[in-house]
Structure 1
Amino acid sequence: MATTDNDINVRLIEKINQVEEKYNQNFSNTQKILMTTDGSITAILDVLYGKIALKTLEQHFEEATAESAKLVNVDVGDEVNFREIIMHKDEQPLIYAKSYIPLKRLSKEIKEDLVRADIPIGRILKKYHIESRREINIIDMEKANDKLIEIYNTDEDFLARDYTIIKDGEILMWIKEYFPISYFTEI
């Protein structure tokens, strides 16, 4: 039996409800939208804040480890792009994200955009008219690690989600996004 859009929406609502119950939290509608969207988070932030910017913290090509190979469904040793970014507005960090992208699934032009400029993934997909879907794997709260404390100057808990972008039945990208629990509560 095929999974319907309604089934997927119910599953995402259940995931959010489970996290709210587990941590005794009530998330704002905006937080729920950011955690469950199967569209571009960049587009949502652009609507909320005006066009946001992206700052690349680190980006490099590397051989896939056992862990990263599993995340993007490639062989250990295949070349992947690792990228850490901050989506921000006027130097205020909004979303921190890290990603693995198997290079063998990208066109030359997309690879060039990925490494040349601070362009959000959502804008790259839109620029090249790439039809894809996002599959959300995990929605949870996490304790702040050293990197998140440094970026946001807080040790509060973070909402986190991990998802894949699927194109033609293959994982095009794995992404994990974070933002502090106090963010997006009044919008």
Structure 2
Amino acid sequence: MDDRYLKPHIVIGDLSKIHGLKNEEKILLGTDGSITNLLEILFGEEVVVETLYQEIIDNVNYRAVLLGVNGIPLIYATSETPLNLIDEIHIREKIKKDLLSADIPIGKILKIHNLETRREIVEIAVKEVPDVVKNKLNPKRIKIPQRTYNIIHKNKVLMTITEMFNLEDHL
């Protein structure tokens, strides 16, 4: 793995020079905390999650969501959750139920179930927007900030999440 991924400030600094990222975008790209919490602080409103797609295949939950504020879609996120990596059966079933039955942000699901986790950033980039994301976020830019990270629980990857940000148009 490239050492630069272990130092988000370097990667984000380089991307910012090339793409002119706003400070808020840099913070969201580099945080190892809750994106939902940061969005609520930035916009002063509760984040609403709209589940676009969800399916369990071979005990892995695949989910795509839009995170927005005041009807404005800000982030398109996908997640993969291998449910069998959650050791405690009762917690696994509750998390599975929350993922499947409600539009709850993953950070809030982890908090509800009091899971001690950490986030490990795998990739930070500014990339071309896939068509499915263009149709949901309607960005003005051809390329948008994106990141992929793992949520680690008991030294296992509990979830892998990719987020694509369209904040520039709304800040």
TM-score range normalised by the length of the shorter chain? 0.7 to 0.9
The residue number in structure 1 matching 2:29 is 35
Q: Distance in 2 between matches of 1:54 and 1:124?
A: 12
Written as runs of structure 1 = structure 2, the 5 A alignment for 1:1-187 is 11-21=7-17, 24-49=18-43, 50-63=45-58, 79-106=59-86, 107-154=92-139, 156=141, 157-180=143-166, 182-183=168-169, 186=171
* 8 Å contact kept, 2:49–2:65: yes
Once the two structures are superposed, what CA deviation does each residue of 1:81-137 show, in whole Å capped at 9, x if it has no partner?
000000011221011100100011231111111101000000001111111000001
How far residue 25 of structure 1 moved from its aligned partner, in angstroms, is: 2.4
Render the CA deviation track for 1:4-63: whole Å, top value 9, x for unaligned: xxx999811011022234xx2232221111000000000111112211100000000013
How far apart, in 1, do the equivalents of 2:144 and 2:16 lie?
A: 13
Q: Which amino acid aligns with 1:89?
A: V
Q: Give the TM-score normalised by the residue count of structure 2.
A: 0.87
Over aligned residue pairs, what C-alpha RMSD do you find? Answer: 2.1
**How many residue pairs are counted as aligned between the two chains?**
162
Structure 1 unmatched ranges of 5 or more:
1-6, 64-78
Runs of 4+ displaced beyond 6 Å: 7-10
- Identify unmatched segments of 5+ residues in structure 2: 87-91
Q: Percent identity?
A: 36
Secondary structure of the structure 2 residue equivalent to 1:30? helix
User: Aligned equivalents of 2:6 and 2:56: distance in 1?
Assistant: 37
The residue that corresponds to 2:89 in the other structure is none
CA displacement 1:118-171 (0-9 Å, x = unmatched): 000000011111110000011101112111211122362111000000000000
Alpha-carbon separation, structure 1, partners of 2:96 and 2:117: 17
Using structure 1 for the length normalisation, give the TM-score: 0.80
